[in-house]
């Protein structure tokens, strides 16, 4: 219907709805007027008043039916019927309050678990970037020959930026890094999270600074020239108490002076799922921040540290952008064969990026599936209860059918009942889901043992709420349909005679059998899955930490942050180890690049095991490694099973040595791993 039409009809519908009595009265009055005229006419034609009245009524062709027809014309009876059904349902549910409470709690648990786990998946995959028109923001990634994703180097970024035509701006950012921040130059620095971004970053994303300005293009052109910084919203609030005079102030970052030029609004917590940068610096200031010390950030094409994103031009298709970048990647390969051999590039949407870059979402999906299984069991449970309740109402239903209620109308009534149950369950479920999400949040400090601004992104937002409501409606149908269908198929004669009939035959039991089978199957699956998960965790807890966890303290440093050169760094660690060793209460000490079970990834390493039959298509294998000193195995309580650990004599000039773990030895040298 056209909107112009609604202008007339909506007020009419509203009037029928809210001035119901008035409308009814007018209907009666109108018909009364007609009948009176008709009777007058009859009398004038010589009929007796009684006959005239009778004739008038006959001409109406059933007065009450006509009235019903006229009411139907108001087109609101679907709503008034629903309200009547709802009123009736609430009354009858209140009568069986114990059962109602049980059903609501059952559904609430199912829906609550599902919405809580869905909030995880939502945060990890679906939640759009916090920028205007987020769907236009694409990720450009470099791909290696085994189709792993990689970042781009600064030089590559500049080339992409100048040679692509599909985008309204190409931006780049480095990873969020630990930065030594001091509110005033000279004050003791504290570790905060900063992110280097390209000069057009905020402009292309459409983020308007809440205070001051974003970066200008020219502030990101000459390495080391413009020491400017834009603050993140939370950081500004907590570190500077939302003081607007912060603009123009000088702060220390990694020992260098930076001028604050702007503050990002609350609506932009950053583009990362977990991290929310405390401040942003231009890429041109890269020398002040932790980049690969062996490489030249601005020159080396294989110093790949930048994530590149771009905003697709309106009217350009994703496929065009993909083709364009593929050609560019081929040019890179032929122009710079040394660093770009077997390298491609790909354009990903936000969904593709989130599902490819980080695999945590798979756990979220598993949890959602498990929670849905719980909800399914809850629904079958509730369906069983409703079914037995419907059996107790056989007579009521038989009476309704006998006095002319249509089966469809009765099914609607019964479904309204389960809809109300499910809505209550849904509301309670949302409360439970909210509680679970809050409970997740309480692990914040356990999960992120760091000073960097990471947080758990799960929350109950509008999208999760809508999903929960949709789920409630679905479960209403799921747990209400079977009982409604079955209980309206009553044998009227028997139904009217006794309150509880059980018609012999298979048909009647069909629904219940399906319910029981589904319930047992789903429960079994859930039990198996949770048993396996618990066993898995137990195994991990028992075996995983095969090092002495007690009386072990850990501290990490990054001397690069204060511009130490490699020699100074080496000296620093040597002194540190010596001093710790003689500290009272210290039994032993060790240096390691990474700690076991830490949040940082171990470095990867390619290796060729001696005497191992290599598969035809491989030149080497990949694994992870850690760089440690001679005290490591003793301090961590890791036993050396064969051979020796490292010694102080294993220096850079000594023959090169490595230690492998038991798993490695058993796999690559089976049968002879004890003869090392």
Residues that bind another protein (CB under 8 A): 4-5, 7-9, 12-13, 26, 29-31, 33-34, 36-38, 56, 59-62, 65-66, 69-70, 72-75
Select 73 or 599, whichever has its Cβ closest to another protein: 73
Torsion angle, alpha carbons of 49, 55, 59, 60, to 10: 60
For the bound state, the minimum distance from the C-beta of residue 20 to another protein, rounded and expressed in Å, comes to 15
What is the separation, in whole angstroms, between the first and last Cα of the chain?
84
For the bound state, the minimum distance from the C-beta of residue 62 to another protein, rounded and expressed in Å, comes to 7
Select 27 or 328, whichever has its Cβ closest to another protein: 27
Look at residues 368, 177, 180 and name the one whose alpha carbon lies nearest to residue 275. Answer: 177
Select 9 or 388, whichever has its Cβ closest to another protein: 9
Beta-strand runs (E) in 477-521:
none
Select 25 or 331, whichever has its Cβ closest to another protein: 25
For the bound state, the minimum distance from the C-beta of residue 9 to another protein, rounded and expressed in Å, comes to 5
d(CA 503, CA 391): 11
Select 6 or 531, whichever has its Cβ closest to another protein: 6
Select 37 or 535, whichever has its Cβ closest to another protein: 37
Select 10 or 503, whichever has its Cβ closest to another protein: 10
For the bound state, the minimum distance from the C-beta of residue 230 to another protein, rounded and expressed in Å, comes to 57
For the bound state, the minimum distance from the C-beta of residue 77 to another protein, rounded and expressed in Å, comes to 12
Select 75 or 362, whichever has its Cβ closest to another protein: 75
For the bound state, the minimum distance from the C-beta of residue 403 to another protein, rounded and expressed in Å, comes to 22
Helix (H, G, I), strand (E, B) or coil at 86: helix
| Residue 150: CA count within 13 A, CB half-sphere | 21
Q: Which two tokens stand for residue 122?
A: 């939502």
For the bound state, the minimum distance from the C-beta of residue 80 to another protein, rounded and expressed in Å, comes to 14
For the bound state, the minimum distance from the C-beta of residue 57 to another protein, rounded and expressed in Å, comes to 10
d(CA 86, CA 101): 17
d(CA 14, CA 19): 8
Q: Which two tokens stand for residue 64?
A: 């009450």
Select 15 or 313, whichever has its Cβ closest to another protein: 15
Look at residues 417, 384, 412, 380 and name the one whose alpha carbon lies nearest to residue 488. Answer: 412
Instruction: Answer yes or no: are the C-beta atoms of 169 and 323 closer than 8 Å.
Output: no
Q: What sign for the dihedral angle of Cα 559, 563, 569, 572?
A: negative
Work out the burial of residue 77: count CB atoms within 10 Å of its CB; fewer than 13 is exposed, 13-18 middle, 19 or more buried. Answer: middle
d(CA 210, CA 264): 5
DSSP 339-352: HHTT-EEEEE-HHH
Contacts 24+ apart (CB under 8 A), 444-448: 448/274, 448/599
d(CA 181, CA 258): 10
Buried b (16+ CB within 10 A) or exposed e, 585-613: eeeebbbbebeeeeeeeeeeeeeeeeeee
For the bound state, the minimum distance from the C-beta of residue 45 to another protein, rounded and expressed in Å, comes to 14
For the bound state, the minimum distance from the C-beta of residue 30 to another protein, rounded and expressed in Å, comes to 5
Select 8 or 674, whichever has its Cβ closest to another protein: 8
Select 56 or 160, whichever has its Cβ closest to another protein: 56
For the bound state, the minimum distance from the C-beta of residue 50 to another protein, rounded and expressed in Å, comes to 19
Select 31 or 580, whichever has its Cβ closest to another protein: 31
For the bound state, the minimum distance from the C-beta of residue 399 to another protein, rounded and expressed in Å, comes to 28
d(CA 43, CA 37): 10
Torsion angle, alpha carbons of 110, 115, 117, 120, to 10: 180
Select 7 or 555, whichever has its Cβ closest to another protein: 7
d(CA 650, CA 660): 16
Select 72 or 266, whichever has its Cβ closest to another protein: 72
Close Cβ partners of 417 (under 8 Å, ≥ 6 residues apart) = 85, 89, 92, 93, 386, 480
For the bound state, the minimum distance from the C-beta of residue 25 to another protein, rounded and expressed in Å, comes to 11
Q: Which residue has the tokens 């040019």?
A: 331
Select 35 or 477, whichever has its Cβ closest to another protein: 35
For the bound state, the minimum distance from the C-beta of residue 47 to another protein, rounded and expressed in Å, comes to 16
DSSP 240-304: HTT-GGGTT-EEEETTEEEEEEEE--TT---SSSSB--SEEEEGGGGGGS---TTS-TTT-TT-E
Instruction: Answer yes or no: are the C-beta atoms of 122 and 271 closer than 8 Å.
Output: no
For the bound state, the minimum distance from the C-beta of residue 24 to another protein, rounded and expressed in Å, comes to 12
Instruction: Answer yes or no: are the C-beta atoms of 129 and 171 closer than 8 Å.
Output: no
């Amino acid at each position: 219907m056209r909107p112009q039409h609604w202008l007339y009809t909506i007020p009419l519908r509203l009037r029928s709805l809210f001035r119901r009595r008035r409308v009814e009265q007018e209907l009666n009055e109108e018909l009364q007027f007609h009948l009176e005229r008709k009777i007058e006419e009859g009398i004038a034609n010589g009929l007796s008043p009684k006959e005239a009245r009778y004739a008038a009524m006959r001409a109406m062709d059933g007065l009450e039916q006509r009235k019903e027809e006229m009411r139907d014309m108001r087109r609101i009876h679907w709503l008034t019927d629903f309200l009547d059904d709802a009123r009736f349902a609430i009354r009858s549910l209140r009568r069986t309050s114990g059962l109602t409470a049980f059903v609501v709690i059952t559904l609430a648990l199912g829906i609550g678990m599902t919405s809580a786990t869905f909030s995880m998946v939502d945060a990890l995959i679906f939640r759009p970037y916090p920028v205007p028109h987020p769907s236009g923001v694409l990720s450009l990634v470099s791909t290696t020959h085994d189709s792993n994703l990689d970042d781009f180097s600064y030089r590559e970024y500049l080339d992409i930026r100048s040679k692509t035509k599909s985008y309204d701006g190409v931006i780049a950012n480095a990873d969020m890094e630990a930065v030594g921040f001091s509110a005033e130059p000279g004050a003791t620095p504290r570790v905060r999270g900063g992110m280097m971004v390209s000069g057009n970053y905020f402009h292309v994303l459409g983020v308007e600074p809440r205070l001051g300005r974003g970066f200008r293009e020219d502030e990101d052109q000459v390495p080391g020239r413009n020491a400017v910084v834009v603050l993140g919203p939370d950081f500004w609030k907590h570190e500077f108490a939302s003081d607007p005079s912060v603009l123009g102030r000088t702060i220390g970052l990694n020992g260098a002076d930076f001028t604050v030029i702007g503050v990002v609004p609350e609506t932009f917590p950053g583009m990362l799922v977990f991290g929310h940068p405390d401040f942003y610096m231009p890429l041109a200031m890269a020398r002040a921040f932790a980049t690969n010390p062996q490489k030249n950030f601005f020159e080396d094409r294989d110093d790949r540290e930048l994530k590149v994103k771009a905003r697709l031009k309106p009217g350009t298709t994703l496929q065009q952008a993909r083709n364009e970048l593929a050609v560019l990647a081929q040019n890179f390969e032929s122009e710079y064969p040394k660093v770009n051999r077997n390298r491609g590039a790909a354009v990903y949407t936000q969904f593709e990026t989130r599902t490819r870059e980080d695999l945590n979402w798979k756990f979220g999906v598993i949890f959602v599936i498990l929670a849905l299984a719980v909800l399914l069991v809850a629904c079958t449970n509730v369906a069983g209860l409703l079914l037995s309740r419907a059996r107790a109402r056989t007579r009521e239903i038989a009476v309704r059918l006998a006095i002319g209620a249509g089966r469809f109308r009765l099914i609607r009534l019964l479904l309204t009942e389960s809809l109300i149950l499910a809505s209550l369950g849904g509301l309670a479920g949302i409360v439970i889901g909210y509680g679970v999400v809050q409970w997740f949040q309480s692990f914040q400090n356990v999960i992120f043992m760091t000073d960097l601004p990471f947080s758990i992104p799960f929350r109950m937002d509008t999208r999760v709420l809508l999903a929960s409501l949709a789920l409630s409606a679905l479960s209403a149908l799921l747990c209400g349909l079977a009982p409604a269908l079955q209980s309206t198929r009553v044998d009227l004669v028997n139904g009217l005679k006794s309150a509880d009939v059980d018609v012999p035959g298979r048909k009647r039991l069909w629904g219940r059998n399906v319910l029981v089978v589904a319930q047992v199957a789903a429960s079994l699956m859930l039990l198996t899955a949770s048993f396996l998960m618990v066993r898995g965790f137990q195994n991990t807890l028992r075996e995983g930490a095969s090092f002495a966890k007690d009386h072990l303290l850990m501290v990490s440093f990054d001397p690069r942050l204060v511009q130490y050169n490699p020699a100074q760094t080496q000296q620093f660690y040597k002194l540190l180890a010596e001093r710790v060793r003689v500290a009272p209460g210290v039994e032993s000490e060790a240096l390691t690049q990474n700690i076991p079970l830490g949040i940082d990834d171990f470095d990867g390493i390619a290796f060729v095991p001696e005497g191992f039959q290599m598969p035809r298509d491989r030149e080497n294998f990949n694994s992870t490694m850690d760089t440690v000193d001679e005290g490591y195995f003793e301090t961590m309580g890791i036993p050396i099973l064969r051979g020796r650990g490292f010694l102080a004599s294993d220096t850079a000039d000594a023959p090169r040595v490595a230690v492998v773990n038991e798993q490695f030895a058993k796999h690559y040298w089976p049968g002879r791993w004890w003869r090392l």
